[in-house]
Amino acid sequence: MNDEWKAKLTEFESRRKRARELGGQRRIDRAHTAGRYTIRERLERAAESFSEVGEFATYDDVDALGNLRGQLPASYVMGLGTFAGRHVAIGGEDFTVRAGAPQTYLDRMKGGLGGFIEDLAHEYRIPLVMFMEGVGGDVAAQGEKGHSYLVSSLSWKRSYELLAEVPVLAMVSGASAGGTAGRTVLSHFSVMTKDSVFFAGGPPLVKRALGKDLTKEELGGAQVATRSGAIDNLAEDEDDAFEQLKTFLSYMPQNVWEMPPRGERTDPVDRPLDEILDILPTNGRKPYKAVSVIEPIVDRGSFFEIGKYWGKSVTTGLARLDGIPVGVLASNPMHLGGAMDAQAAEKQIRFVDMCSTFHLPLVYLVDVPGFMVGPDAERNNVVRWGMRAIQSLVEAEVPVVTVQVRKAYGMAVSATSDPDGLSLRIAWPTAEWGDLPVDGGVDAGFHREIEEAEDPDAYRTAVQQRMRDLADPWRTVEAFGVEAMIDPRETRAMVADFLNASLHKVRTDLGPQKRQWTIRP
C-alpha cells in the first residue's frame, strides 16, 4: 500500500470511528443507565444484516450563542437491512445527538420525517422499520439556517404514500414527542416499551400553555398511549418490542403488489374444537374472553393480538388459518358486554383498512348487543364512528367470513359483514339476532298497547313470547337469511375451505388500493 492510499484509508477509518461514537460517551452512558440501547445497538440487535447509508453525514455542533464546538454525526442512522428474514428499509433517530431532531442541516434528509429511508422503501417496494426516539422540532435549527422556517415546508407526502404501498412498522423506546410522535402513528403497527413516553408536547410545554405540572409518565406514559390508541402494543423491553415487530411483519407481504406469505399447514383444518363448547356460555348474559374463542379456531399459537388496551369491546389481531394469514375481529363481552362504542369502532376501522390494504381476508366472530348507548357514548360520537366502522367493511376489498356466535342486534351488526359482497355468514346454534333484543324491544315498540291493556303485565308477557318465537334463529336459517347454521366444532374446517377458495380472487386484485389507507378518518 502506498502512502497516498494509506492516508486516504486512515482518514476513512477516522471518520467511521467518529460516526460510530454517536453523540459521545457521556450521552451513550446516559441511555444505558436508563436501560435503553443506542440506535446503533438497536440496529445491531434487531437486524440480521445492515448496510448503512449516509454514515458520514455530520453537522456543526455550536453552543447557544453560535460558537463552534466541533462536529457530530447526523441525528439519524439508517440503511438497507434484513429484518425477520426480509429485506427492509430500516433506521432510527439518534437521541444522543440533539435528541434525535430532524436533519434540516443536511442537503437531503436521511429519515425521520421523509428523507432517503422513505424513498428507499417506496422505490424498492420493501417494508419500512423505524426506531423512534426523538423530540421532533428543534429551535437550534434556526441558528443553522439563519432564520426560522415554516414547518409546513416539510413534506409529509411520502409518509402517507407509503401507507398504501408497503408495511410501515414503528417502535418507541425512550421519548417520542412532537414530529417524532406524529411520524410514529403514520404506521400500520406500533409498539412501545413500558418505560417510554409519547406525546405531542412535553411537560414544559404543558406547563407554559396550561399551567399544569405533570410528569412525563402522567402526560404520555405507556399506560396512556396504549389506552388511547395512539400506540398499538406494549412491550416489556426493547427485545420484546423487536420480537413483536418481527411477528407482525411475518403476516405481511413485502408490498401491496404481493400476497402475504402462507405459513406451514401442519395444524389440521378438521381438528375437533370440542373446547369451544366448554368455553362459550349458552346464556347470552354470561361473558367470556374473546381470545379464548379465537384461539381454538385459528392455527395453534398463531394469534397475535393488536390494540389490546384500547377499544376493548372489539378484539383485533392477526392469525393464520390453514397457513393463510388473516385478520381476526371478535366482539368482547368482557367489556361493555361487547357493545361497540366510538373507540372500538375507530379501532375496527384502522384494522380493517390495514387488512384490506395487504390482502388479508377477515374473520369476524360476532357477539354484539348493538352500538353502546348512554350519555358518554353520545358525547363520544358513537353513531358517526359506528357508521364509519360499517363503511370500513363495505369498502374492504378482501373476503369477509362472519361467525354469528351469540348476540347480533341493531345497526352495529352491519359493521360485521358486507351484504353487497360475497360475505359468508355462519351461525352457531347459540346465535340470536334482530333489530332489538326482545325484552327491551317489546317495551319500546308496544308501550302504548301494553299500557292500555286490561292486564299490562300479562299482555307484555304474551307479546314477549310471540316475539321470541318469531326471533327463533332457525326461522331465519329456513328463509336463507343467513348462509349456514353449523356445529361450532365445524367452524375451523368450513372457514378454511372458503378462505382457500377466496385466494383465487385475492390474487387477481393485487396492486395499489382504490383508496388511500388511512389511520384516522
Q: Which three cell numbers stand for residue 482?
A: 343467513
Task: Give the count of domains, the chain.
Answer: 2
Please identify, among 191, 215, 250, the residue that sits at the C-terminal boundary of a domain: 250
pLDDT of residue 520: 46
Task: Examine residue 194 and state whether it is found in any structural domain, yes or no.
Answer: yes
Q: What residues does 340 pair with on adjacent strands?
A: 371
Alpha-carbon gap, residue 18 to 88, rounded angstroms: 26
At residue 430 the predicted structure's pLDDT band, cuts being 50, 70 and 90, is very high
pLDDT of residue 91: 96
Q: What is the mean pLDDT of the chain?
A: 88
At residue 141 the predicted structure's pLDDT band, cuts being 50, 70 and 90, is low
Alpha-carbon gap, residue 215 to 207, rounded angstroms: 10
> What value does the mean pLDDT take over residues 170-188?
92
pLDDT of residue 345: 96
pLDDT of residue 249: 98
For the ranges 104-108, 112-116, 194-198, 212-216, the maximum mean pLDDT occurs at 194-198
On whether both 13 and 116 belong to a single domain, the answer is: yes
On whether both 307 and 201 belong to a single domain, the answer is: no
Task: Examine residue 438 and state whether it is found in any structural domain, yes or no.
Answer: no
Maximum distance among all Cα pairs of the chain, rounded to whole angstroms: 113
Task: Examine residue 460 and state whether it is found in any structural domain, yes or no.
Answer: no
Task: Examine residue 267 and state whether it is found in any structural domain, yes or no.
Answer: no
Displacement of CA 210 from its chain's centroid (Å) = 31
On whether both 346 and 392 belong to a single domain, the answer is: yes
Task: Examine residue 89 and state whether it is found in any structural domain, yes or no.
Answer: yes
How much of the chain exceeds pLDDT 90, in percent? Answer: 60
What would the DSSP string read from start to end of 254-268?
A: SSTTSPPPP----S-
On whether both 95 and 181 belong to a single domain, the answer is: yes
**Residue 35 φ/ψ region, left for φ over 0, alpha for ψ in the -120 to 50 degree band, beta for the rest:** left
> What value does the mean pLDDT take over residues 499-509?
81
CATH of the domain at 210: 3.90.226.10
On whether both 206 and 99 belong to a single domain, the answer is: yes
On whether both 201 and 323 belong to a single domain, the answer is: no
On whether both 23 and 93 belong to a single domain, the answer is: yes
Please identify, among 250, 284, 312, the residue that sits at the C-terminal boundary of a domain: 250
Residue 507: C-alpha distances to residues 251, 254, 345, 463 (Å): 16, 14, 29, 51
On whether both 354 and 236 belong to a single domain, the answer is: no
Task: Examine residue 261 and state whether it is found in any structural domain, yes or no.
Answer: no
Task: Examine residue 233 and state whether it is found in any structural domain, yes or no.
Answer: yes
- The H or E element containing residue 11 is helix 3-20
On whether both 214 and 308 belong to a single domain, the answer is: no
pLDDT one-digit tens code per residue, 475-489: 888 899 899 999 999
Task: Examine residue 439 and state whether it is found in any structural domain, yes or no.
Answer: no
At residue 521 the predicted structure's pLDDT band, cuts being 50, 70 and 90, is very low
What would the DSSP string read from start to end of 210-262?
A: H-----HHHHHBHHHHHHHTSSSEEESSHHHHHHHHHHHHHTS-SSTTSPPPP
> What value does the mean pLDDT take over residues 403-418?
92
Which residue range forms the structural domain that includes residue 416?
275-428+486-508
Lowest-confidence region among 5-19, 67-81, 164-178: 67-81
On whether both 297 and 374 belong to a single domain, the answer is: yes
On whether both 224 and 315 belong to a single domain, the answer is: no
pLDDT of residue 31: 87
On whether both 126 and 212 belong to a single domain, the answer is: yes
Please identify, among 217, 250, 283, the residue that sits at the C-terminal boundary of a domain: 250
